Each structure stands twice: as structure tokens, then as C-alpha cells.
A and B are shown apart, each in its own frame.
Chain A
Amino acid sequence: MRRSKWLGILAAATFALAGKAVLAADTLTILWAEWDPANYLQELVKDYEKQTGVKVKVETVPWPDFQTKAFTEFNAKGDAYDLVVGDSQWLGAGSTGGHYVDLTEFFKQHNVAKTMAAATVTGYAEYPPGSKKYWAIPLEGDANGWAYRKDWFEDPKEKAAFKAKYHYDLGVPKDYKQLRDIAEFFYRPNEKKYGVALYTDNTYDALAMGVEQTIFSFGGDLGDYSTYKVRGIINSKQNVEALKFYKELYKFTPPGWAKVFFLEDNQAITEGLAAMSMNFFAFFPALANPATNKNAKGTGFFANPAGPGGKPRFAALGGQGVSVVSYSKKRDQAFKWLEWFIRDDVQARWAELGGYTCNEKVLSSEKFRKATPYNEAFYQSMLMVKDFWATPEYAELLEQMNKRMHPFITANKGTAEEALNGLADDWENTFKKYKRYK
């Protein structure tokens, strides 16, 4: 009796483990950051399960830990994840580290470079830049944009007062000078109203994204992405002006705004703190939803304005592509899923659910652009995106930029010239360390 009892338990355990193995074979796991687009993707992949019987699980990690978690798994050559929706800056590290499967053949076979928007192919898929080697399929388009209190802007009293002071009509800012004027106009600390909410968090890329799009729009750049030359570019006159401008905008933010990312910038609108708020488009659905934003009806959106002279105009590229993890034991299934994902009908469904499709046809359609209050601004942004370095050592470059920019912008330490000259030294030393200079 005792023996048969043990045999029974052993049989049950074996059956359970076998069952788990069978289930695992029919389940693909996608790793992404914990935010709404991941929820939309989890909704989308239910269609794939209905059509193929293969379950797809989207596993999420909070943004601040996403990079650490993903690369810890990669470095351990773990097979816990079959696909990863990695940040665009990870392309260099993911490809040269052997963590991503080369998708160049896949791109050719399925004409992906023609069906996806050009900026997304360059930003989310190609490494090195211009090499025509691809490591990800553009999945979630994103860029840095702005939300604003349309109701404040449309208030007749505010319009009259603004016109009287600045001699032009209050409206969506066309350039950075107008952005600054509007921020100054709405800066009223005694009323607990402030002009603008900016990114200042320096734990990942928030501050860098805010500063870089200002730099780009002032006609500056981060460096030469093909030769890695930085001196004379990162510390150019235009960059100095851009950095000083970002610091000046910081004056008009709510108090205690020195460690702020998407959550707080959205709160600046939902709590009625600021007239304008910078954020990635992926976070705007929460602002358009009356359930999460009591000011939703009075909230509008616009793409990053042009530089002070009316040009150029850029938006910091956000967004991610989906890559096949090299260590996955289900590569064939992962490729089948990619083939399904890039279909036009699936891309349209992805956009319907709230995902920011990179499919050129869907993105430029009237239906998509009118689908939400922010889609038009998103579409305009995707035509003018520009990204940070995507080299394998991008994390060091990001950290160095945060170290130089943050004290100057939030703590009045040093000058813009010192910050950028210091950054030029840091980046040059880093590129020398990794033998980027020929």
C-alpha cells in the first residue's frame, strides 16, 4: 500500500512536469517594460493564439529595472524569453553581444524595410547605422511630445492677457521661443499653477531625451554617429544655447521637479499643475481618458516645436523593436509570430488597440491620424525623430550625460559650457576605451 502510494505520487509528479513541458512548448514569452502598450500587446496576441493555438505571454518589468533584468538574462544566456521588445538604444549591445538574432534575411524576404516607416527602421532595427543589417522588427513607435491644457489656452481672459504681454496670439507653440513665453506666462506659484513639466529623472534616459531633443531643435547634435567624433559637436555653440534654454524652462516647472519621469509629468496635467507637459506619446492615452484624467476634455497634444528660428524641428525618438533572443529554444515559433505581426491587418488591429504601429500605410492613414486626440501629433513626430547613440556602450554614455546635465539644470552647478566640455571629455574617453577611433 505504501509502495503504491509512492508510485502514484511519482506518476502524478511526472505527469505534471510533462504537462508543464508540453505547455511550455506551446507558449512564447515576450519580455517588455511594464506600461500600457505591453497590455495592448497582450490583448493583441490573443488573436494569434486563436489562429494558431500557440499561447503568447507578455512578461513585463518596471521601466527602471527593464534594462537590468533583460541584460541579466541575456548575460546568463537564459532561455526564459523568446522575444524581447528592447529599447532602441540596446541595438548595439544586443547585436554585438550576440543576444539578438540577425533579422536581415527576414527583412529581405518580407520586405519589412518598405512596409515600416523609414525612421523606425533606422531607429529600431538597423545596427550599425547605414549597414542594412537588422536586429529587430519595429513594434512600438514612439517619440517625445507635449500635452497641454487646451482649456487654459482657450480661456478668453488668458488669451487677452497673453496677447497684451507678448503681442501674438496664445496657441500651440510653433517654436521654442513661444514655448518659453507660454511657460513664463502660466508660471503662477501663488495659484499653484506652473508653466511647464519637463523630464529631469537621471536614473535612465528621461533627462537625456528631454535635453537631446532641445539640442536637435537648436540645430545641434550629439556627435558624428559614424566616426564617433564628439569634440566640437556635443560642446558646440548651438548645444550650449540649447542646454541653457532647457535650464531656463526648468525655472517654470513645479517645485521639487528634480527627479521626474513620465508618471509625474502626466500628474502635472491630471492634477492641474502645469500648462504644458513633456512626455512620450505612449503615456498620452492615460491623459485622453476621463477615468484617469479629470482634465481630459481640456487636454490637447502637440509635436515638439521647432528651434528658435523656426527650424530645424526634431523629436527625440522613443519606441522599441521586437527582437528574437538568441538563446531562445523556440526560434522557429518566434519567427512565425513575427511573420504574423508584420501583416497589415494585424498592424491595423495593433493600432486599434492603442499600440503605436510603425506600419507606413496604417500610420499615414486618415483613420489612424484621427483615431485619438494625440495620433496626429504622433504622426507628425514620427516624420522628424532622431535618436541617442545606439552603440554597445550607450549606457555609459547615458550615465555620463546625466552626470553632467543634471547638476547644471537642477542644482545650478557650473555653466553650460563646463557641462558640455566635460561631457565631450567623458564621451571621447569612453570611445577611446572601446577603440572606436580608427
Chain B
Amino acid sequence: MISTLDPGSPAARRGLSDISIRNLFIIPTIAFLIVFNIFPLIYSLGYSFTDFRASSNAPATFVGLQNYRDLLGDEHVWNNFSVTAKYVLVSVGGQVLVGFGVAMLLNRKIPFKGFITTLLLLPMMMSMVVVGLFWELLYSPSWGIINYALGLEDFGWLSDANVALYAIAITDIWMWSPFVMLLCLAGLSAIPQHLYEAAAIDRASRWYTFTRITLPLVTPLLLIAIIFRTMEAFKTFDLAFIMSTQETTELISIKLYRLAFQEWQTGPSCALAYMVLIMVLAITNIYVKYLNRAKER
């Protein structure tokens, strides 16, 4: 027998309604988001149209689109964008190749599979600053193990302007391939075995099986991994800042940091931040379109 409360009774009035409970759970989060996400977003948009400097007591003066014009006309900023684009391509491309490759290797019955998977996941659990610092030591021409192992003697991975960016990308690939591997492994494990059995019966080649069964079915998860990793690679700061200060490794996030917190050009740095935000949104939208198409298929 289910006992029900009379809605008009004092007992019912003491309790919270479903709507109230829902609001109690949601309102603090929304308030937090508004205070720490929405408000700064709008406030900084306002600053992006001014010449405000946080280090001076002078009030902000409206300058219209001057900050955006100056940044778009600055060759250094374009250089930062092109360095960032190169970094994203190399780093994310490498993570996909390595992550997907390792996932393919792990997608079978092997001894100690769980233990091996756990070990492979360790890099992405480390702090990026710590990773940057010890890879800097690994790359050191004077006492680093990489040059010793490869017999490269005095080769300066991080001091050679042409190579430094790729050295940082290799570190990023080492650190984040496990993330891609994890998502791909989940996708690979979800592929129904009967598809492979049917392909085997029809004597399909391994390449055919890979391109017509494995890849299409893993693509949605692979694309999710690529979306996340692209957004993160675009925002990379710690690794590049710790490991190198070459012009050829100055990513856009480092430029933004310097503009905002070393030169205290608050207005222009807000404008640059918005330019970066728009770019990341645009790239993400492209990926999401492909993702939806892949899901439909």
C-alpha cells in the first residue's frame, strides 16, 4: 500500500517541490558559470575595444576596432598563428597515428593487457609542467639521454630554431597519444565481431577489412578525440613556455600571455583572446559537421 501525502497538509508544505529541488541543484552552478565564465567573457569583450592597461590607473578609452586592426596588421601575430597551426597539425596528426596504431595493437587478447594499458596511460596523468621540465633535460645536448641513445652528440633539439617546435610536438605526442588510444580502443572494442567473420568468409583482404569495417566504425570516436586534441593543442601553453623561447615556438597562447601579463596591454590582449576564440570555434564547427556526417553513415 502506497501512502501519499495530502498536498495541502503541513507535512507536504514543509517539503520542497520538484521544481524547487531542481532549481537548488542548478542555480549554484549557473551562478558560478555566470560569475566566472559569462561575465568575464562579456567584460573582456568590452575591454577589447579599449586601450586599457591593467597596470596603470588611467581609465579605459574606447578605440573601436583599433586593437583588432593592429593585431591583424602585426606580422609577429601572424607568425604566432602560423606556428600554432603547424604545431596543431604535427602534434594532433602524430597523436592520431600513434594512438590509433597502439589501439589497433592492443585490440586483441594479449597477456597482461590491462597492466600494459594502464602503463600506457600514465603519461597523460602527469602535470604538463613536470613533463616539459624533464623532457627539457632529456633533450639536453650536454647531459640528455636522447642524444646519447641516438648518437647525436651536440645536437640542440630545443636550441635549433628549425627543430624546436617538432621537439615540443614529440613531447606532446608522447603525453597525449594515450588519450587518443583510449577512445580508439573503446571504438574498436565496440565493433561487432560478426562483421569481421563475414568479411573473412568472403575472403576480404586485411586492407579491405580495415578501410571498410574498422575505420568507418571507429571514425566517430576518432573524430571526438581529434576535436578535443585540436582544441587543446591550439591552447597549448605550458609545454612550449617551459621548453623553449625561440621565435619559432612562440604559440599564440604564449603571445597572449606576454601581451596580457608581461606588457600589461589589457585591451589588445582581450582582442587577441577573442580572435583565438573565434578560430577555435570555427575549427570545432568544421569537425562537428564531419562528426555528424560520420554518425549518419
Chain A residues proximal to chain B, CB less than 8 Å: 67-68, 71-72, 74-75, 93, 96-98, 189, 192, 201-204, 254-259, 271, 273, 392-393, 395-396, 399, 403, 406-407, 410-411, 413
Who on chain A is nearest to B247 by CB? A407
Q: Smallest Cβ distance from B130 to chain A, in angstroms?
A: 15
Q: A192-B142, A256-B141 are in contact. Are A410 and B246 (CB under 8 A)?
A: yes
Who on chain A is nearest to B164 by CB? A258
Does A395 contact B246, Cβ atoms closer than 8 Å? no
Does A410 contact B161, Cβ atoms closer than 8 Å? yes
Who on chain B is nearest to A192 by CB? B142
Chain A to chain B: the 4 pairs with minimum beta-carbon distance, closest first:
A258-B159, A411-B161, A255-B141, A255-B154
Of B141, B241, B263, the most chain A CB neighbours within 10 A belong to B263
Q: Which listed residue (A256, A393, A403) contacts B140, Cβ 8 A?
A: A256
Q: A93-B55, A96-B56, A403-B76 are in contact. Are A258 and B246 (CB under 8 A)?
A: yes
Q: Smallest Cβ distance from A57 to chain B, in angstroms?
A: 25
Does B245 contact A407, Cβ atoms closer than 8 Å? no
Q: Smallest Cβ distance from B53 to chain A, in angstroms?
A: 9
Q: Which listed residue (B76, B246, B262) contacts A68, Cβ 8 A?
A: B262
Is residue B107 contacting chain A, with contact meaning CB distance below 8 A?
A: no
Compute how far the CA of A389 lies from the CA of B139 in the bound complex, rounded to whole angstroms.
Answer: 36
Query: Which chain B residues border A399 with CB–CB below 8 Å?
Result: 258, 262-263
Q: Which listed residue (A74, A204, A392, A406) contacts B246, Cβ 8 A?
A: A406
Query: Which chain A residues border B263 with CB–CB below 8 Å?
Result: 393, 395-396, 399
Q: Which listed residue (B55, B141, B265) contacts A392, Cβ 8 A?
A: B55
Compute how far the CA of A255 lies from the CA of B140 in the bound complex, rounded to whole angstroms.
Answer: 8
Of A67, A256, A259, A407, the most chain B CB neighbours within 10 A belong to A256
Q: A98-B57, A273-B142 are in contact. Are A202 and B264 (CB under 8 A)?
A: no
Compute how far the CA of A407 lies from the CA of B249 in the bound complex, rounded to whole angstroms.
Answer: 11
Q: Which listed residue (B154, B161, B244, B245) contacts A413, Cβ 8 A?
A: B161
Does A71 contact B264, Cβ atoms closer than 8 Å? yes
Chain B residues proximal to chain A, CB less than 8 Å: 54-57, 76, 139-142, 154-161, 241, 244-248, 258, 261-265
Does A255 contact B156, Cβ atoms closer than 8 Å? yes
Query: Which chain B residues border A96 with CB–CB below 8 Å?
Result: 56
Does A68 contact B261, Cβ atoms closer than 8 Å? yes
* Total A-B pairs, Cβ < 8 A: 87
Who on chain A is nearest to B241 by CB? A203
Compute how far the CA of A407 lies from the CA of B158 in the bound complex, rounded to whole angstroms.
Answer: 13
Query: Which chain A residues border B258 with CB–CB below 8 Å?
Result: 399
Does B158 contact A258, Cβ atoms closer than 8 Å? yes
Compute how far the CA of A119 lies from the CA of B17 in the bound complex, rounded to whole angstroms.
Answer: 74
Compute how far the CA of A254 lies from the CA of B55 in the bound complex, rounded to whole angstroms.
Answer: 38
Compute how far the CA of A392 lies from the CA of B248 in the bound complex, rounded to whole angstroms.
Answer: 29
Compute how far the CA of A407 lies from the CA of B159 in the bound complex, rounded to whole angstroms.
Answer: 11
Compute how far the CA of A255 lies from the CA of B152 in the bound complex, rounded to whole angstroms.
Answer: 12
Compute how far the CA of A432 lies from the CA of B76 in the bound complex, rounded to whole angstroms.
Answer: 19
Does B244 contact A259, Cβ atoms closer than 8 Å? yes
Compute how far the CA of A68 lies from the CA of B260 in the bound complex, rounded to whole angstroms.
Answer: 10
Q: Smallest Cβ distance from A145 to chain B, in angstroms?
A: 23
Task: Taking A202-B245, A396-B265 as given, write out 10 further A-B residue pairs in contact, using a Cβ cutoff of 8 Å, ordered by the A residue number.
Answer: A71-B55, A96-B56, A254-B141, A254-B142, A255-B141, A255-B156, A256-B159, A259-B246, A395-B262, A396-B263
Does B156 contact A406, Cβ atoms closer than 8 Å? no
Q: Which listed residue (B55, B140, B160, B245) contacts A406, Cβ 8 A?
A: B245
Does B159 contact A410, Cβ atoms closer than 8 Å? yes
Who on chain A is nearest to B260 by CB? A68
Who on chain B is nearest to A397 by CB? B263
Query: Which chain B residues border A393 with CB–CB below 8 Å?
Result: 263
Query: Which chain A residues border B265 with CB–CB below 8 Å?
Result: 396
Query: Which chain B residues border A259 with CB–CB below 8 Å?
Result: 158-159, 244-246
Q: Smallest Cβ distance from A155 to chain B, in angstroms?
A: 23
Compute how far the CA of A259 lies from the CA of B156 in the bound complex, rounded to whole angstroms.
Answer: 11
Can you list 23 residue pairs at the A/B interface with Cβ under 8 Å? A67-B262, A68-B262, A75-B55, A97-B55, A97-B56, A203-B245, A204-B262, A254-B141, A255-B155, A255-B156, A255-B159, A256-B142, A257-B159, A259-B244, A271-B142, A395-B262, A395-B264, A399-B262, A406-B246, A407-B247, A411-B247, A411-B248, A413-B161
Who on chain A is nearest to B155 by CB? A255
Q: Smallest Cβ distance from A197 to chain B, in angstroms?
A: 11
Who on chain B is nearest to A396 by CB? B263
Query: Which chain A residues border B141 with CB–CB below 8 Å?
Result: 254-256
Compute how far the CA of A71 lies from the CA of B262 in the bound complex, rounded to whole angstroms.
Answer: 9
Query: Which chain B residues border A406 with CB–CB below 8 Å?
Result: 245-247
Q: Smallest Cβ distance from A297 to chain B, in angstroms?
A: 23
Compute how far the CA of A406 lies from the CA of B140 in the bound complex, rounded to whole angstroms.
Answer: 19
Does B56 contact A392, Cβ atoms closer than 8 Å? yes
Compute how far the CA of A407 lies from the CA of B247 in the bound complex, rounded to whole angstroms.
Answer: 7
Q: Smallest Cβ distance from A105 to chain B, in angstroms?
A: 22
Compute how far the CA of A197 lies from the CA of B157 in the bound complex, rounded to whole angstroms.
Answer: 18
Of A75, A204, A255, the most chain B CB neighbours within 10 A belong to A255
Who on chain B is nearest to A65 by CB? B261
Q: Smallest Cβ distance from A135 to chain B, in angstroms?
A: 15
Who on chain B is nearest to A74 by CB? B55
Query: Which chain B residues border A202 with CB–CB below 8 Å?
Result: 245
Does A413 contact B247, Cβ atoms closer than 8 Å? yes
Query: Which chain A residues border B248 with CB–CB below 8 Å?
Result: 411
Who on chain B is nearest to A190 by CB? B153
Q: A256-B140, A413-B247 are in contact. Are A75 and B76 (CB under 8 A)?
A: no
Q: A259-B159, A396-B263, A411-B161 are in contact. Are A75 and B247 (CB under 8 A)?
A: no
